[in-house]
Amino acid sequence: MPPTLISRRAFSASLAAPLVCAQSSDWAELFNGQSLDGWKPNESPASWRVEGGAILAAGPRSHLFYSGPVQAAQFRNFELEVEALAEPLANSGVYFHTAFQPEGWPVRGFEVQINNTATGEGGYRENKKTGSLYGVRNVYRQFAGDNEWLTLNVLVRNRNVRVRLNGMLVVDYTEPVPPPAYPEMEKERRIGQGTFALQCHDPGSRVRFRRIRVRPLPDNVPLPPGAVEPVADAEWRDILALGAQNYPMVDYHVHLKGGLTLEQALDRSRLDGIFYGLAVNCGKGFDIEDDAGKIAVSVCRVNDHPRTKNRALRPDQDCFAAEKGNVEITAFDKGKTFTFTAEVDLVWASHPDRGAGDVVIKGTASYCASLEKAVDDFAELQEDFAIP
């Protein structure tokens, strides 16, 4: 995993965002699990095959466009759900509002990125991680693991696009009127209508897609509640242009004070397209007045990816959850163990193979993407906050 580009105590834009639309009976499957019927590859068609009930992308650059009967392969407003698995260093993506072209990178529509650990080629460093609305609203942290099935949910209503990764909201983008100008390669990137496409990026990128389904929505759907019309001024357009040029857009120093809540900070982060690193409010009159205000991160093993707040752990989950109180935290990896007591607001745990964990402590979140990295994070936190 490449070095993270956001503070280890930064909160993620994927926090605390439940699904908006409940699943219903009007989902349509776009992949039959057996063949590529209803799909049309462009250049290098041999890069696509069905293996073990999944579409495998493996080979030279190619894009696989949906051309089946659902909606005559034309979608304006919809909810799309894709289950994918990326092998190490793989780069891929899912396009919407696009159109078939015989070769090259699609110039029309938007791409939802799949890239957990790919770092780019040659002198180009790829900063846009899984869940990014590529070049528009970029995700700079890794929130999914290689060789693990992940779920992308893409909800398009009017000019609003919301992307969820494993149920966590990572993108909430409303296109302004008129739409902004994009670089030449994506000159036709705008909200409209079109089909879907899967990406085989390069011979070294192997990605599987096992479930692809869509829930079409009416053409006259309004902007969803809570969607904010952006003020597409010069500053807004500069942020968009820099993100499109692969510059990480991050503000490392945001305080939850003066009435600013976590939810408001998250909303603002998604609106502006800038990731925030929350700085803990310390000092007299704040929650943390001295070194006794313990701060910790938890690492534990579970068999699912739930948020454990206000719910009990299942018997098969070898872990713990806590809300507001002192708990004993143990981090472990290859014989290295840290154990201490810390005051926390909420602890939740992630996947057993990745050993990842997340903790919200007095409005701050930290995410560890591997046990090895988690141990490093613990050492840093112990030093920074005098955790015994």
Q: Which of 157-166, 250-259, 344-353 has the weakest average pLDDT?
A: 344-353
Domains contained in the chain, number: 2
Amino acid letter for position 149: W
**Which of 191, 217, 243 is where one domain is finished?**
217
Mark whether 342 and 206 lie in a shared domain. Answer: no
- Please answer whether residues 346 and 357 qualify as being in contact, where contact means their C-beta atoms are separated by less than 8 angstroms: no
Mean residue pLDDT of the chain comes to 74
pLDDT at 332: 36
Residue that finishes a domain, picked among 217, 232, 262: 217
Q: In the numeric block, which tokens belong to residue 4?
A: 């993270």
Q: Are strands 207-217 and 48-51 parallel, antiparallel or unpaired?
A: unpaired
Q: What is the pLDDT at residue 287?
A: 60
State whether 63 and 142 are in the same domain. yes
Instruction: Report the share of the chain in percent with pLDDT over 70.
Output: 65
Q: Answer yes or no: is 19 within a domain.
A: no
**pTM (two decimals):** 0.70
Most confident of 116-120, 172-176, 267-271: 172-176
Within-domain flag for 197: yes
Q: What is the pLDDT of residue 141?
A: 84
Q: Determine, yes or no, domain membership for 69.
A: yes
Q: Are residues 81 and 173 in the same domain?
A: yes
Judge contact between 93 and 199, C-beta under 8 A: yes
Please report the pLDDT score of residue 257 as a whole number: 79
- Of 331 and 272, which is predicted with more confidence? 272
Q: What is the pLDDT of residue 33?
A: 96
The whole-angstrom separation of Cα 349 and Cα 356 is 6
Residue 333 CB: number of other CB atoms within 10 A? 17
With respect to residue 388, please indicate whether it lies within any of the assigned structural domains: yes
What mean pLDDT do residues 352-356 have? 37
- Do 198 and 97 belong to one domain? yes
Confidence tier at 289 by pLDDT (50, 70, 90): low
Cα–Cα distances in angstroms (integers) from residue 20 to residues 17, 98, 281, in the given order: 9, 24, 32
Taking the C-alpha atoms of residue 224 and residue 87, their distance in angstroms, rounded to an integer, is 35
* Within a domain: 321: yes
Decide which of 113 and 250 is more confident.
Answer: 113
Strand-strand pairing, 195-200 and 92-98: antiparallel
Q: Are residues 57 and 160 in the same domain?
A: yes
Give the residue with greater pLDDT, 128 vs 350. Answer: 128
Where are the alpha helices (H) located in 126-251, listed in sequence order? 234-244
pLDDT tens readout for residues 109-127: 999 999 999 988 877 888 8
Q: Are strands 62-66 and 275-279 parallel, antiparallel or unpaired?
A: unpaired
Give per-residue pLDDT as tens, 226-241.
888 888 888 888 888 8
* Cβ 158 vs Cβ 222: under 8 Å: yes
Average pLDDT over residues 250-275: 84
Q: Select the more confidently predicted residue: 291 or 205.
A: 205
Amino acid 231: pLDDT = 85
Does a structural domain hold residue 16? no
Residue 96: CATH number of its domain:
2.60.120.560
Q: Are residues 194 and 46 in the same domain?
A: yes
Average pLDDT over residues 35-54: 97
Strand partners, 329: 340
Residue that wins the pLDDT comparison between 341 and 266: 266
> Helix, strand, coil: what percent of the chain each, to 5?
10, 35, 55
Query: What is the residue range of 307's domain?
Result: 282-388
Q: Would you say residue 254 has pLDDT above 90?
A: no
* 100 and 207 assigned to the same domain: yes
Answer whether residue 260 is part of any domain: no
* 47 and 176 co-located in one domain: yes
One domain for residues 298 and 213: no
Could you read off the pLDDT of 61-116 as tens digits, one per residue?
999 999 999 999 999 999 999 999 999 999 999 999 999 999 999 999 999 999 99
Domain end, chosen from 217, 247, 262, is at 217
Residue 387's contacts (CB-CB under 8 Å, 6 or more residues apart) are 294, 295, 296, 340, 342, 381
Query: What is the model's pLDDT at position 40?
Result: 98
Q: Has residue 267 been placed in a domain? A: no
Q: Indicate if 63 and 182 belong to the same structural domain.
A: yes
Can you tell me the mean pLDDT for 17-43?
77
Q: Are residues 68 and 194 in the same domain?
A: yes
Confidence of residue 22 (pLDDT cuts 50, 70, 90): very low
Least confident of 20-24, 187-191, 202-206: 20-24
> Which band of pLDDT confidence, cut at 50, 70 and 90, is reported for residue 372?
very low
**Average pLDDT in the 160-167 region?**
95
Q: Is the peptide bond before 18 cis (omega within 30 degrees of 0)?
A: no
**Residues 334-363: what's their mean pLDDT?**
38
Instruction: Please name the residues in contact with 84: beta carbons below 8 A apart, sequence gap of 6 or more.
Output: 92, 94, 114, 149, 150, 152, 207, 208, 209, 210
- Count of residues in the chain: 388
- Comparing CA positions, the residue from 6, 4, 3, 1 lying closest to residue 275 is 6
Closest CA to 362 of 248, 280, 290: 280
How far is the C-alpha of 177 from the C-alpha of 311, rounded, in Å? 43
Contact 36, 53 (CB under 8 A): no
Q: Do 286 and 212 lie in a common domain? A: no
Stretch 275-286: mean pLDDT: 73
Residue 290, pLDDT score: 59
